[in-house]
Amino acid sequence: MQLPHSRVVLSWSGLLLAVLFAFSMTSLPAIAATSTESAHSVDQTRLQRKPGQSVRQVKGNKSKVQASKGRKVVAKQVRPARKVTRQTERRGVVKRAAVAKRVVAVERGRVPRVVRSVETSRTAAAKRLDPQILKTALVSGAASSVVRATDKLQVSATSTATNDDPLALRSGSALVVDEGTGRVLLSKNADTARPIASLTKLMTAAVILDAHQPMDQVIEITDADIDTLKWSSSRLRPGTKLTREELLKLALMSSENRAAHALARNYPGGLAAFIPAMNAKARSLGMSATRYVEPTGLSPQNESTAHDLALLVKAAYHYPLIRDFSTHPESEVDVGQRTLQFRNTDHLVFNRGWDILLQKTGYINEAGHCLVLQTKFEGRRVIVVLLDAWGKYSHFGDAQRIRNWLEAKGFDALHDPAVRTGAVADRGEDQPNLVRTAFVEKAAPAGLGE
């Protein structure tokens, strides 16, 4: 009766043994792999171990190798920064050496060669004024601060009081005058006083020429000529020596601030006498709303109106050097070990469609972009004054719009805006829009002015 029970026990025992056997067979590969990897590691350690060296020492060497690899990666990342630092240091050393070399050159009394003019093609010979004409102008005083009595110079207040801007100009103030007939063709805020920036240099040049100082005299740029108001840049470094003539050219053509300041500093009596001379000349020309406090235009306290600047442009035209230098396209300056290239700041000078007789540009933040021109349209001389234009090329764009407008409308179709509004109906037909000043110009020698 007990045999069936024993059979059941045996069957369950066999099943359990079969399960254990199957489980052991599945785990053998993992055990074998682990043992193989351990054996491989032990073999590699034995191969790397040197005679008399333990396994622990070999493992320590491995950790050292890995640490050195990490340091190399960090070094690779740091190396570019060190390279940039070294390059900066080298540049500083080279710059200091160059400065020291220039100082030595100045101390030895080396005088750089004067500026030589070059044409736009850079292949033509140096262009200079006829020495005889220059000598005659300086001796006779033909380039004076006053104009001929026959010139109708001062714009009437009634002509400029009425704004007439058919072109929607970008400039805050504008004035266009037909110089031959004395008619005001366009007037926009012409009596509003504004900062005039480097337009100041026209007056600076006129006062310098009125002093009749030797134009071939060498003047040195010093630390006193560095701009400490706006900290504007200049390529005329302290120690540069140029003639008065060439400094005047750079001041008018390229609006060089240090050149203008050096000219005023070497005026008889220095800056203390030069600034009053500028204001006295402005009063003599009828520029009643104009004020100067320094010779470069960097100060926003140098103020004038479009009306007053038209008078200045008219008077400045009688200076041959101002006409020539302000419209010169470019010049080279040889200052010893280097040559500098200067270009005219007025882009219209390089435009063949324009016949510009005299020009000057100006810009500071307070004044915006400014431009004065004396040019020819259809054979007639026209004075254009543009002040307070915001935008790098807005003043040039306004000048082009004025030119297109004159060519399209024609001079005969344009009239004084004050006449159109009837504001000057009571003046009488014989009273011109531009009235005379009380100053008479000295007799000009042949070949100078008009």
Task: Write out the DSSP string of 74-95.
Answer: HHHHHHHHHHHHHHHHHHHHHH
pLDDT of residue 160: 64
Closest CA to 271 of 290, 241, 293, 253: 293
Average pLDDT over residues 315-344: 91
Average pLDDT over residues 415-435: 44
Average pLDDT over residues 332-356: 88
Give the CA distances from residue 182 to residues 202, 355, 382, in Å, rounded to whole numbers and listed in that order: 22, 20, 9
Q: Answer whether residue 104 shows pLDDT above 60.
A: no
pLDDT of residue 236: 93
| pLDDT greater at residue 357 or residue 32 | 357
Cα 157 to its chain centre, rounded Å, is 36
- Mean pLDDT highest for which of 49-58, 205-214, 418-427? 205-214
Q: Answer whether residue 257 shows pLDDT above 50.
A: yes
List, by residue number, the catalytic residues.
198, 201, 255
Residues paired with residue 241 on neighbouring β-strands, in sequence order: 220
Residues paired with residue 117 on neighbouring β-strands, in sequence order: 331
- Mean pLDDT highest for which of 54-58, 145-149, 171-175, 432-436? 171-175
Distance CA 69, CA 430 (A): 99
- What average pLDDT does the chain have? 74
In the chain, the percentage of residues whose pLDDT exceeds 70 is 58
Distance CA 416, CA 433 (A): 8
Write the pLDDT tens digit of every residue in 120-165: 333 333 344 455 544 444 443 433 333 333 344 445 555 666 677 8
Q: Which helix (H) or strand (E) holds 331?
A: strand 330-334
pLDDT of residue 16: 77
Write the pLDDT tens digit of every residue in 220-256: 999 999 999 999 989 999 999 999 999 999 999 999 9
In the chain, the percentage of residues whose pLDDT exceeds 90 is 46
pTM (2 d.p.): 0.62
Distance CA 322, CA 317 (A): 7
3-class DSSP state of 122: coil
Average pLDDT over residues 254-260: 96
Closest CA to 242 of 104, 116, 125: 116
Q: Answer whether residue 198 shows pLDDT above 90.
A: yes
What does the domain layout of the chain look like in residue ranges? 116-435
Looking at domain 116-435, what is its CATH homologous superfamily?
Answer: DD-peptidase/beta-lactamase superfamily (3.40.710.10)
Least confident of 20-24, 101-105, 304-308: 101-105
Determine contact, residues 295/275, Cβ cutoff 8 Å: yes
Write the pLDDT tens digit of every residue in 366-380: 999 999 999 998 889
